[in-house]
Amino acid sequence: MARGTVNVSQINQVNRERQLNLSVVPVGTLQEAFDLVADGRVAAFAMDDILLSTMIAESDHPDAYALSEEAITSIEPLGFLMQLGDDAFAAEVNKALEHIYTSPEMPLLYERWFQQPLPGKDITLNVPMSAVLAEHFATPREINAD
């Protein structure tokens, strides 16, 4: 586990609740955590699926890894950091995102970045759009993280 990530507390909580008896090995960076798996020193590394997919695709042997199909935590919304008090800007950002998300082009945009070779990287993430994400794009809503 990479120190300072939300995954550390999540894995520790799941470990306690499900009595999995996991040994959590904290490291300083995501790459160090991936290298522990690559070198066979640990069995698994928990992190965001897109980050893991990128690390796998960039590795020397991407066919040597697989992502778990079972989520270990609930889905967490991601967002944009903006300064407080600029409600007009936040409203414009939300309006633009809603326009993009509900556009007929959204599935093509997703496919371009998550299922086709990435420009300049010569890797493909091969991450199909989840039903939850497709539903969010069809009916986006503002989530306030007060």
Predicted confidence (pLDDT) per residue in 82-135, tens digit: 889 999 999 999 899 999 999 999 999 999 999 999 999 889 999 999 888 999
Same-domain check for residues 54 and 100? no
Dig out the tokens for 12 from the structure: 């520790």
CA 90/CA 58 separation, integer angstroms: 35
Instruction: Kindly tell me if the per-residue pLDDT of 78 is higher than 80.
Output: no
Shared domain for 91 and 60, answered yes or no, is no
Burial class (CB in 10 A: 0-12, 13-18, 19+), 33: buried
pTM, entire model: 0.77
SS3 122: coil
- Alpha-carbon gap, residue 87 to 71, rounded angstroms: 35
Q: Tell me how far apart the alpha carbons of residues 28 and 120 are, in angstroms, rounded to a whole number.
A: 28
79 domain residue, yes or no: no
CA distance between the termini of the chain: 28
Q: Verify that 51 and 96 share a domain, yes or no.
A: no
Classify residue 144: in a domain, yes or no.
Answer: no
The tally of domains found in the chain comes to 2
60 shares a domain with 96: no
Please indicate whether residue 112 or residue 79 has the higher confidence score (pLDDT). Answer: 112
Q: For residue 63, give every residue at least 6 positions away whose Cβ sits within 8 Å of its Cβ, in sequence order, or none.
A: none
Which residue range is the domain that position 122 belongs to? Answer: 87-138
Q: Which helix or strand (DSSP H or E) is residue 114 part of?
A: helix 106-114
Establish if 114 belongs to a structural domain: yes
